[in-house]
Amino acid sequence: MTQEELKAILKYNHDNGTFTWIKSPRKGFVGKQAGYLRPDGYTTIKINKKHWMVHHLAWLYVYGTLPKMIDHINENKNDNRIENLRVCNTALNMQNKRKAQANNKTGYLGVNYAKNVNKYNAQICLNGKSKSLGYFNTAEEAHQAYLQAKQTLHIFAPKDNHHALHITATQIV
């Protein structure tokens, strides 16, 4: 798919990140919003029997390229406004994590329980390597240490602590 081909069939709305059919694959679709919301939260559009993630199409529409990975800055997978998108790699994309992974037993991002010392360990990943930030008596203290390090070390980290206070559970390794 090229930018030219995309622009011939879809129109991108920069204000809300949606696409509208210009040339429809089926009768009655011209002028209507394209795509459907998948169960995982991403919006997809089917073009010529291929499913395209809308954030990738938005990038192609605006910049004319299809990078391998695009990050949603605010982590809302359905917010495909170009100002909410950025090219990244896996390591940078992981820095944007704010939600808990189900298998983290502490309930806090960047924290695990160290049975051998009966304390909570704060860890952060930097340049592909896990770095211990120390041991703490509570998971909350360890999490605060993680958040402080994240603000300093992660270039993609949210810069406002309003969001950071709502972060729960994932161990970055």
pTM, entire model: 0.65
Separation between Cα atoms, residue 20 and residue 25, nearest integer Å: 12
Domain identity same for 110 and 60: no
Please check whether residue 79 lies inside any domain of the structure: yes
Q: Tell me: the pLDDT tens digits for 73-83? A: 888 999 999 99
Domain identity same for 98 and 46: no
Q: Tell me: the pLDDT tens digits for 1-15? A: 999 999 999 999 999
Residues 6+ apart with CB under 8 A from 97: 109, 170, 172
Token pair in block for residue 56: 């990738």
- Kindly state the helix (H) or strand (E) to which residue 114 belongs, with its residue range: strand 111-114
> What is the pLDDT averaged over residues 64-78?
91
- Kindly state the helix (H) or strand (E) to which residue 37 belongs, with its residue range: strand 36-37
Q: Indicate the residue among 87, 107, 137 that finishes a domain.
A: 87
Separation between Cα atoms, residue 25 and residue 113, nearest integer Å: 54
Token pair in block for residue 83: 């100002």
| Residue 85 CB coordination number (10 Å) | 21
Question: What is the domain range of residue 71?
Answer: 3-87
Q: Indicate the residue among 62, 87, 112 that finishes a domain.
A: 87
> What is the pLDDT averaged over residues 87-114?
75
Q: Tell me: the pLDDT tens digits for 112-133? A: 899 999 999 998 887 778 888 9
Separation between Cα atoms, residue 153 and residue 68, nearest integer Å: 24
> Is a pLDDT exceeding 90 seen at residue 58?
yes
Domain identity same for 39 and 74: yes
Domain identity same for 11 and 73: yes
Domain identity same for 10 and 76: yes
Domain identity same for 104 and 147: yes
Q: Indicate the residue among 58, 87, 116 that finishes a domain.
A: 87
Among candidate residues 131, 173, 121, the one with its CA nearest the CA of residue 152: 131
Domain identity same for 130 and 157: yes
For residue 18, give the amino acid letter: T
Q: Residue 74: give its domain's CATH number.
A: 3.90.75.20
Domain identity same for 123 and 83: no
